[in-house]
Amino acid sequence: MIAIILFGKPGAGKGTQAQFLKEKYNLTHISTGDVFRYNLKNGTDLGKQAKVYIDKGELVPDEITIDMLADEVEKNMDKAGFLFDGFPRTIMQAEALEKLLAEKKIAFVGTIGLDADDDVLVARILERGKTSGRSDDQDEEKIRNRYIEYNEKTAPLIAYYEQKGKYTSVNGMGTIEEITQRLSNAIDVLV
């Protein structure tokens, strides 16, 4: 059983690409956003704990997020592995995820980063915002603020994974099919 992290700025296409890759490689796609929405909607114990922080406008502690992901992993041990999207976002989260994977005897094979130009990504998100219903997908200033936060908090993970020999950069520009092929080529090297 393997684990791959799909990495990239908002709008890089992680969710879109994960839909193709999970089928091709028989992986469970674990999107942190989807996991949060499921736990909140269904009123799970972890969802109730998270809601306390969310209602105060605070970030949910890493421990709760990791516990949610651990539950998701446990429910999906019948696949060839996992494709993580939107997690980890910090080095502390990366270390916690590595510990979880080791406990479950899941081989962490690598992180694949989708690289794309900020202006292209902003245009993608604004287009997505026409149908997503997300207010933060409809305001260019909010989108660019997400990139500032990404650069400050998440981008350091690139160096973290590069030091471990676990980071592959993939060109995230082009058609969906071209990007899927590049990602498949990168995964084939990892597995």
Annotated binding residues: 11-16, 32, 37, 58-60, 86-89, 93, 128, 134, 146, 174
- Considering the candidates 14, 22, 124, 182, report the single residue annotated as catalytic: 14
- Considering the candidates 9, 22, 124, 146, report the single residue annotated as catalytic: 146
- 14 flagged as catalytic: yes
- Considering the candidates 51, 79, 128, 144, report the single residue annotated as catalytic: 128
Q: Which residues are annotated as a binding site for ATP?
A: 11-16, 128, 174
Q: Which residues are annotated as a binding site for AMP?
A: 32, 37, 58-60, 86-89, 93, 134, 146
- Considering the candidates 89, 124, 166, 182, report the single residue annotated as catalytic: 89
Beta bridge partners of 3: 82, 108
Do residues 23 and 66 make contact, with C-beta atoms less than 8 angstroms apart?
A: no
Beta bridge partners of 149: none
- 182 flagged as catalytic: no
- Considering the candidates 24, 48, 99, 134, report the single residue annotated as catalytic: 134
- 146 flagged as catalytic: yes
- 89 flagged as catalytic: yes
Sign of CA dihedral 170, 23, 13, 108: negative
Residue 22 CA to residue 58 CA, distance in Å, equals: 32
Specify the 3-state DSSP secondary structure of 102: helix
Residue 87's alpha-carbon distances to 2, 32, 95, 98, in angstroms, are 16, 6, 11, 11
Q: Indicate which residues carry an active-site annotation.
A: 14, 89, 128, 134, 146
